[in-house]
Structure formats: C-alpha cells, structure tokens
C-alpha cells in the first residue's frame, strides 16, 4: 500500500500542476574533474544560499546549457574557521556516494582564493521552507519524507559514512517532490568511532555534546529529531542559546503533544534516547529495526527507493533553471577566477 494515501488530498499542503518542462538536468559529461572545469565554463545566475565560508550559486553551463548548483568556499575563511579537514572530507564523501536521495557532485576546481564544487541543481527548494509554510506535516507526509531519509542514512552507513548534519535545511526537494540530502560539510568516513564536536545544536546527539566517542547512531538520533519537527513544527530541545539547548539535550526530557500517534511516539522515544542500547539503528539489526517499526508498517521500501510512490507535494517548477522556491540573497561583487598568490592551495590539492 502506498505510504501517501488519499488522505493527503485533504491536507493544506500546497500543490501544483505538472512542471512545464521535463528537460533532464543531468550533465552530459563525466564527473572526472581534475583540469576539467573553470569558472569561465559557467554563467552565474543568482545566489541560492549563503554560509560562513561562502555561498551557493545557480549557474548554467556554457556548453550543455544545463543548470547546476555551484558551492563556493573562501579558502581563507575555511582555514580561519579550522574547517580544512571537513572541507576536504566533503569533497571526498560526495565523490563516493551514489544514491537517489543524495546530492551528486560533477566536478571541483579552485582559483587563488576560492574552492568550487559543481553539483546537481535541485530546484524544489528546502524541506525547511515547505515545513514552515505548512506549520507541521500530517502523519503520512512526515512518514513519506522520513522513509526516504531512512534509506539515505542506511546507504551512507553501509559505506561507513556518518552524515552528522541532518536537518530540514539540508534536505532539498526535486521537481517531483522527492528528497535529495545536500551539504556534506560534516560527513565523515568512520569505520568505528570518532570524537569531533560538530552539527547543529537542536539536532546534535547527547554523546557528541558530552565529548564521548560516538558512531553512526548519532544520525538515528537526528532522524528522531527530524520526525519530531516534521510532526510538530518545532524541535524538542529548542532554546534561545546553544548552551541552553545542549543542556536540554543532555537532560533528554521530551514532551510529546497529544496529537502525536502512539506508534510515532514509540518510534521517537526509541530514537531520541540517550541509552545507546535502546536507540534504534544502533542495535544488532541496524537500520532494519527502524524500517520494521510499526510506524513504518505500510511502507513498501522498494517502491520508495525506486520513486514509484506519489509524492505529497510537487513543487511548482515553471521552467528549467527556475529558482523561485529559494530565498533571495543580496548579491556581492565576486572575486572568482582572479589569479594572485595562492596562500592556501597546498591544503586543498584534490580540488
């Protein structure tokens, strides 16, 4: 039985007609990159997002005329914020992964001041924006997105990759409404355990905050927080300062609204738990314990993976390169392509 039932037709989620264009956004060339691209190969259209180290642009290839997202990081800022290892890990992780619900990278390059990553342009906007417009998702809608995220985490963990930054802002929607997880800045290949403190306060697992050794189970904690936020519209440990949020995470006192169904509450209580001997995903059966939970009872996982499920929301994409579902950001004068002394290039030799 499809996991998004006819009940969705009565929900308040925005719907749209079929997209005008079905033009494929996949590049026509290999993702082998060294010496392949330069900034002159692309037309920069607009900014899609900004961050501490740079910004993401919508760009168009001058050769195949297709659209991409280009993430640009300022080398000096990456070094200043001690993110060199994370940045190199992001490039390496993106080159390793190949999954329907994960972003793809097509090439990387650098100039004297900046690092460039050319990736899929996923034009449906952030799940975060849809959730804010909807306030909270009905149970079947939250289940749809949670199922796709679960399969993505299962795939990453099978390759010993911990994602470490799951949140609605890092989940994009494609033109049909399926998810694509983006931003691998905190992803790391970890065969056993690691100790690095990183992530977003509302989503960080208690063992990370406590500076203990941790493993892939931190992603299952974050899945629990994500499902809670989708069902309620807020995160369970939110506070005005990160320190207060961390304190609440360590206390792990979750207040469940009455409208959360018993099956959902049971799943959440077994994901958002400090007890690693109880946390689903971390037990003997691994991700199967999550997938076999009663809340996911009607999910046909093969159909989810092959995208043979009707999506609860289809973004209103009007044409190829439509960026109307992303927020507008002030544009800046760009220093891309300038050739000067490259002070930090030796730290990013694989770009």
Residues with a catalytic annotation lie at 165
Continuous H helices in 233-350: 242-251, 262-269, 287-291, 301-305
| Rounded distance between C-alpha atoms, residue 185 and residue 166, angstroms | 11
| Rounded distance between C-alpha atoms, residue 6 and residue 153, angstroms | 28
- The CA distances from residue 145 to 32, 175, 180, 268, 322, in Å, are 31, 15, 10, 15, 23
Complete edge-to-edge strand list for the sheet that includes strand 67-74? 42-50, 54-61, 67-74, 114-120, 105-110
Residue 18 CB coordination number (10 Å):
10
| Rounded distance between C-alpha atoms, residue 112 and residue 115, angstroms | 9
| Rounded distance between C-alpha atoms, residue 230 and residue 168, angstroms | 9
Q: Which residues contact 29 (CB under 8 A, 6 or more apart)?
A: 36, 64, 106
Asked if residue 195 lies in contact with residue 213, where contact means CB atoms within 8 angstroms, the answer is yes
Dihedral over alpha carbons 269, 272, 273, 276 (to 10 degrees) = 120
């Amino acid at each position: 039985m499809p996991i998004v039932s006819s009940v969705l037709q009565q929900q308040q989620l925005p719907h749209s007609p079929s997209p005008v264009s079905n033009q494929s956004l996949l590049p026509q060339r290999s993702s082998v990159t060294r010496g392949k691209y330069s900034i002159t190969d692309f037309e920069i259209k607009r900014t899609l997002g900004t961050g501490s180290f740079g910004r993401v642009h919508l760009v168009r290839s001058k050769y195949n005329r297709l659209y991409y997202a280009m993430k640009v990081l300022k080398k000096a800022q990456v070094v200043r914020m001690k993110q060199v290892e994370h940045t190199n890990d992001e490039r390496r992780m993106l080159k390793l992964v190949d999954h329907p619900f994960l972003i793809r990278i097509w090439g990387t390059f650098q100039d004297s001041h900046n690092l460039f990553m050319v990736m899929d342009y996923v034009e449906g906007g952030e799940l975060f924006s849809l959730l804010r417009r909807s306030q909270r998702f009905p149970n079947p809608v939250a289940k749809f997105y949670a199922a796709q995220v679960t399969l993505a985490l299962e795939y990453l963990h099978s390759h010993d990759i911990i994602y470490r930054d799951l949140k609605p802002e890092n989940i994009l929607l494609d033109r049909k409404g399926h998810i694509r997880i983006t931003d691998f800045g905190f992803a790391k290949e970890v065969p056993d355990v690691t100790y690095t403190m990183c992530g977003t306060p509302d989503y960080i697992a208690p063992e990370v905050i406590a500076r203990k050794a941790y493993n892939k189970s931190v992603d299952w904690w974050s899945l629990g927080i994500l499902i809670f936020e989708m069902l309620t519209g807020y995160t369970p440990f939110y506070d005005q300062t990160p320190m207060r949020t961390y304190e609440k995470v360590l206390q792990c006192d979750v207040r469940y609204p009455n409208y959360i169904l018993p099956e959902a509450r049971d799943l959440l209580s077994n994901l958002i738990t400090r007890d690693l001997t109880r946390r689903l995903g971390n037990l003997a059966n691994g991700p199967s314990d999550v997938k076999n939970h009663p809340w996911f009872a009607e999910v046909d996982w093969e159909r989810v993976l092959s995208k043979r499920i009707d999506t609860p929301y289809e973004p209103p994409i009007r044409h190829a390169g439509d960026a109307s579902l992303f927020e507008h950001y002030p544009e800046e004068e760009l220093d891309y392509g300038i050739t000067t002394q490259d002070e930090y290039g030796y730290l990013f030799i694989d770009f």
